[in-house]
Every structure is written in C-alpha cells, then in structure tokens.
Amino acid sequence: MKYSYIKPRSKTIFTKDVLLLLAFFSVTMVMLFGTYAFLLFRDYRFTQDMLDINEQKSELRASILKMSNEIATIEKQVLLSEKVFTKNSVLKESISNLFDLVPSRITLSEAKIMENGLVLYGITPNKDVYNFMLQAPLRSIFHRTYSSFYPDKNGWLRFVSTNYIDEEEELSSEN
Amino acid sequence: MISKLLESLYTKVFINIVIENSQTVVYVEVCSKKSVLQNMHKYFDTTTMNSKMYEFIHAYYKESPFCYVSILDKSPLQGAIPTCDVKEMSRYCDINSSEHRCFSKDWAYYTSEYDLEAIKHEYRSAGVDFIFSPFVIMANFFKDKIDNTLSMFVLLEDNYISFSVFDNSKLLYAEYLNMEHHKESDELLMESPLEDDELDGIDLEEIDIDDDSSGFDDFTNIEDLDSGEAIDEFSQEQEIKEIITKEEYSPTDGFNEDYQRFSLIKGALNTFYKDPKYNSKFIESIYIADGVGVTNDLKNYLEEEMFLSVYVRKIDLAVALCDMAKAEI
C-alpha cells in the first residue's frame, strides 16, 4: 500500500554511532590482520633463511670434507716428495760417491743404476788397475760383483762391471 | 538483501501523532518482527511541537534506526473525489495546489500542498515519514462495509468530520467538515440575526444579472418564490434557524457538539442530494467511526430526524494511523 502523501525517509542501520563503532573495529581489525600478515611474512622469511643457512652449512661441511681429503692427499704427496727428495739426495750422493770411487786412470763410458744394482761400462789400462782401484770399493758396497773384460783397439781393456745388492741380506743386516 | 536481513534484527518504532482540539496524542508502538513489544499513549497539552514532545519522541527515536513518524492530516483543504482521472479532478478541486493519491483506481483523496509543507516544517526536528488522509483511514476501517453496501461513512475526529458516501466501493461523495469553522459561522448567525438577510442578499445563486431590482425585492416577487432554487434556499435558511434554536437550548457542550455533528452530516447529505456534480442516490444507513466518544444523542438524532440506520464503531485514530504506517513499509 502506498497511501501516504509523502515517502518515508530512507532508514539505515548505519547511524553515526554505528559508523564510528564500525570505523574503530575496522581500524583495529586492519591493524590486527596487518600485524598477523607481517608476522607470517617474517616467519616465512625466517624459515627460508634457516633453510638457506642449513644448505650453506651442509655445503660447507661437504667443502670441509673435500678439503680435508685434499689436505690428506697433499700431506701424502708431501711425504712422498720428501721421500723422493731423500732418495734423490741419497742417489745423488751415491752417484757422487760412485764417481769419486772411479780412479782417474779408469774412464767410464756408461753407467746404469738400477734398483738393486749397478752396471758400469768403461775402459781400464789393465785388469790390475781395475781390480785394485775399482773392484775393491765396489765389493765393499755391493754383495755380488761380476766383472767381464774384453780388449779394446788401443790395447786397453773394456770392462763391464755388474754389481748387485741382495735385499734379504741387507734386511737381515739392518735387523 | 543484507539490509533486509539486518533490518529484521532491529525493532521497529512507530510514532503516531494525532492533533486534537487543544492537545496532541502521541501513540508509540515498538514492534519486533511479528509481535508488539510495547505500546503507549501520551497526551501533550499543545497542538504544536514543543520540547517535551520532542524529547519524548527522540527517546524512542534512539531505540532503533527504523523509527517511523506518522501524522494524520488535518488540512481543512483536503477531501476525496469520485475519480482518479486527472482531467476530471479539476471539476472537484484545484489540482494545481493540491497533492493527490488514488485509492484502488476508483477514487482519489487530496490535500493542500502548502499544508503538507507546513506539517513537514512543523515537525522538521523529529522528521515525518508518513502523512495520511483521514479518508484513507476511514476507507480501511470500513473496508468490509464499503465493498458491499450503499451507505454514508463518517469518521469523527475532535474538530473534524470526514464524510463520505460509497456505493459498493465506488465513492459518490466526500467532504471534510471543520466543526470549528461551522461553529464560528453559526455563532455569527446567532449574534447578528439581522445579518441573515444581508448574507442571503449576497448569495450568488439568488442574484439575477438581468434583473435590475435589488436583492430585497426578490422576497416580494411571488414568481421567484415559485422557482425551485428559491424554495431550496428557503429550506436551507430554515435548517440554519433550526440549528440556532437547538443550540440555544443545549444544556452541555457534549450535546452541542453532537448536535453540531448531526447538523454537519445533515448539511453534507443535503449537498450530496442537491449538487448536480455528484451522482446522488438515496441513503438509508450510516456507519460512524467514532474517534472522540460521542454520546447516544447523535445516533438518536440521525435515527429520529433523518430515519437512518446508524451503526457506530469505536476507532482509536492513533492506532489506526499506526496500522496504516505498518502497511506502508
């Protein structure tokens, strides 16, 4: 029915008091949700950082392990190099001693150094020079010494001296 | 949809204002969705909005945002007309300065635009949501009778009478009668009976433009007395004299008012019978919505002098106004 001469004023539940209350609650809710969202974001970032740090930690652990292995290898290599260096020094000294052993009257043409032996090729004026001046010191060093001669064109003798160190005897002597 | 849902959570407050002769009745009804939670009548010894009334209304206004203020229109320039066609309305009232509404497309009721604005201005502090015509209230009150009878229907207010004639829901005649206005004019008649002749003398219906003679000469002219118009005027004059004599012997104000109401109803019925604008029919019964508490004298006058079947129903105008407001929303 529309029998009134005038239309009623529009009615709304949103009066001034209600609007004020709604505004207050809206601001409060916005602040609460804002804080909640901020905390969620911070939590997410914290989790992400934690995962990143764990990943970095595991990478670093792997890296440390790798480096430890490398250090061990290098240490082994150092030991080996020292050993080689020592061996070389010994060898050098041996060679130097060897050449010191060779008298001036004997000329070496070739020398083969082996692990357990030494083969010398050279020229000697005679067997006695060889036997007294070279073979005697060689025999003091090596366990077994074999010499063979054959004459050269100028009347001198070419010789081949084969000398061996027996490891078993050396070990027993060391013991 | 949401606003409707929220609206159902609130109570509705209906504030209904009925202005009487020297006081204002404010009827408040607080309703929930289906039931009435609180209702009360409050009487203020003023006919305008004062601070006490404002405070009373404002206290209820704060109870709910859905508060509706309804006022019963008391404009003396209101009425009802038996047509809803704007072209035909001009025959009955000045539609340019009136606000009108159609009732079921059969008839219309109208009031003065100026008076509507005056009501809005008067109650601007409280605000007005509905202004109802007493004819609408009467039509709703006698809905069961209006639809199937040919009768007079009268709504009695403190100072006004809404008079209407319906023939099976078709309005034949309606008039809004101001008792105060008629009383004043009657008093004038009582105080200076010599002026009756003068008043009759300037009646336009009796003036004959072609006739050179004065108005007093008309009484001496036997030919004029033979005409129907002169007889009608004579009978009206007789009625007025009857009213004056009866009022002179009235022992109480209640008696006066009842007789005044009777005379107004009688006058309105005469107009209905005589005015060619209206399709007059013989009326045998009258239904009265009593909003003031009339004595049995009025019923006796109507039954004995006009030979009408009288039916009186009590009406609480403020409650009826509230029911109208409820139906509007």
Q: What residue of A is the nearest CA neighbor of B112?
A: A5
* A170 falls within a domain: yes
Question: pLDDT at residue B277 above 60?
Answer: yes
B328/A9 CB distance under 8 A: no
pLDDT 10s digits, B131-176? 999 999 999 999 888 888 899 999 998 889 999 999 888 889 999 9
| Residue numbers in B near A2 (CB within 8 A) | 101, 328
Q: Does residue A153 sit at the B interface (CB-CB below 8 Å)?
A: no
* A4 falls within a domain: no
Domain boundary among A83, A101, A119: A101
- What CATH number is given to the structural domain containing A145? 3.30.1360
| Residue numbers in B near A22 (CB within 8 A) | none
* B203 falls within a domain: yes
Q: Are residues A93 and A128 in the same domain?
A: no
pLDDT of the residue at B239 = 44
Q: Are residues A83 and A67 in the same domain?
A: yes
Question: pLDDT at residue A138 above 90?
Answer: no
Two tokens at B265?
Answer: 């109803």
Reported pTM? 0.60
B129/A9 CB distance under 8 A: yes
pLDDT of the residue at B30 = 93
pLDDT of the residue at B207 = 38
Question: pLDDT at residue B222 above 60?
Answer: no
Strand partners, B171: B166
Domain count, chain B: 2
* Residue span of the structural domain in which A36 resides: 16-101
* B84 falls within a domain: no
Q: Does residue B129 sit at the A interface (CB-CB below 8 Å)?
A: yes
B3/A12 CB distance under 8 A: yes
pLDDT class of B229 with cuts at 50, 70, 90? very low
* A25 falls within a domain: yes
Q: Does residue B132 sit at the A interface (CB-CB below 8 Å)?
A: yes
Higher pLDDT, B182 or A52: A52
What gap in Å lies between CA A128 and CA A134, rounded to an integer?
A: 9
Q: Are residues A89 and A124 in the same domain?
A: no
| Residue numbers in B near A5 (CB within 8 A) | 73, 99, 101, 111, 116, 131-133
Q: Are residues A117 and A94 in the same domain?
A: no
* B234 falls within a domain: yes
Q: Are residues A92 and A26 in the same domain?
A: yes
| Amino acid letter for position B211 | D
Of B113, B109, B115, B179, nearest to B138 by C-alpha is: B109
B65/A15 CB distance under 8 A: yes
Q: What residue of A is the nearest CA neighbor of B326?
A: A1
Give the contacts of A94 (CB within 8 A, at least 6 positions apart).
Answer: A113
Higher pLDDT, A47 or B299: A47
Could you give the count of Cα atoms lying within 13 Å of A144 in the half-sphere of its Cβ? 10
Q: Does residue A10 sit at the B interface (CB-CB below 8 Å)?
A: no
Question: pLDDT at residue B35 above 90?
Answer: no
| Residue numbers in B near A3 (CB within 8 A) | 101, 103, 132-133, 136, 324, 327-328
pLDDT of the residue at A28 = 97
* A69 falls within a domain: yes
B131/A4 CB distance under 8 A: yes
Q: Are residues A73 and A136 in the same domain?
A: no
Dihedral sign of CA atoms B211, B213, B217, B222 in order? negative
- What CATH number is given to the structural domain containing B63? 3.30.420
pLDDT 10s digits, B40-64? 999 999 888 889 999 999 998 888 8
Q: Are residues B301 and B185 in the same domain?
A: yes
Q: Are residues A97 and A20 in the same domain?
A: yes
Angstrom distances, CA of residue B204 to CA of B200, B209, B287: 9, 10, 34
* B10 falls within a domain: yes
Domain boundary among A74, A101, A128: A101
With a pLDDT cut of 70, the percent of chain B lying above it is 77
pLDDT class of B225 with cuts at 50, 70, 90? very low
* B228 falls within a domain: yes
Q: Are residues A23 and A92 in the same domain?
A: yes
Domain count, chain A: 2
pLDDT 10s digits, B77-112? 899 998 888 888 888 888 888 888 988 888 899 999
pLDDT class of A1 with cuts at 50, 70, 90? low
* A5 falls within a domain: no
Q: Does residue A16 sit at the B interface (CB-CB below 8 Å)?
A: no
pLDDT 10s digits, A140-160? 888 999 999 999 888 899 999
Q: Are residues A171 and A113 in the same domain?
A: yes
* B205 falls within a domain: yes
Higher pLDDT, A75 or B225: A75
Confirm if A136 and A110 have CB atoms less than 8 A apart. no
Domain boundary among A101, A122, A137: A101
Q: Are residues A96 and A149 in the same domain?
A: no
* B87 falls within a domain: no
Question: pLDDT at residue B200 above 70?
Answer: no
CB atoms within 10 A of CB A129: 16
pLDDT 10s digits, B106-138? 889 999 999 999 999 999 988 899 999 999 999
* B33 falls within a domain: yes
| Residue numbers in B near A1 (CB within 8 A) | 324, 327-328
Higher pLDDT, B288 or A175: B288
Q: Does residue B99 sit at the A interface (CB-CB below 8 Å)?
A: yes
Angstrom distances, CA of residue B147 to CA of A1, A56, B43, B154: 17, 95, 35, 15
Q: Are residues A122 and A153 in the same domain?
A: yes
pLDDT of the residue at A175 = 65
* A1 falls within a domain: no
* Residue span of the structural domain in which B276 resides: 179-314
Q: Are residues A93 and A109 in the same domain?
A: no
pLDDT class of A43 with cuts at 50, 70, 90? very high
Q: Does residue B65 sit at the A interface (CB-CB below 8 Å)?
A: yes
pLDDT class of B201 with cuts at 50, 70, 90? very low
Instruction: Give the residue ranges of DSSP H helices in chain A.
Output: 16-101, 127-130, 136-141, 167-174
